[in-house]
Amino acid sequence: MIEYVVHPPALGPHLAEHLRGQGYDVSNYGSRVWATYPSAADPTEERLVLSGVIAAWRREHPDARIDLHPANSGEGGGF
């Protein structure tokens, strides 16, 4: 499971809804979104697949910023 932080916080539920619609397991609370790709072979694959889906959503929401929660970001980063 990977935790993301969405800015502005009001878009957190919208991202969660989009990921659910794509078939991913998702929970959210305010600006925080937890997502998992159950079919992933390993955490790297999970991160890559979710990153692609989030990047596509992000193109439709250019004002959004999605960061990996610090506990999940070994090398940092965001969208």
Q: 59: domain CATH number?
A: 3.30.70
Q: How many residues does the chain have?
A: 79
Q: What is the mean pLDDT of residues 53-65?
A: 95
Tell me, yes or no, whether 77 lies in a domain: no
Q: What is the pLDDT of residue 78?
A: 57
65: in domain: yes
Neighbouring residues of 27: CB distance < 8 A, sequence distance ≥ 6:
16, 33, 34
Q: Identify the H or E element spanning 36.
A: strand 32-36
Does residue 37 lie within any of the structural domains?
yes
Burial class, 51, CB count within 10 angstroms (exposed 0-12 / middle 13-18 / buried 19+): middle
Domain of residue 56 covers 2-72
Q: How many helices and strands, by DSSP H and E, does the chain display?
A: 2, 4
- The answer to whether residue 16 is domain-embedded is yes
Give a yes or no: residue 79 inside a domain.
Answer: no
Interval 29-52: pLDDT, tens: 999 999 999 899 998 999 999 999
Whole-prediction pTM: 0.84
In a domain, 15, yes or no: yes
Report how many domains make up the chain. 1
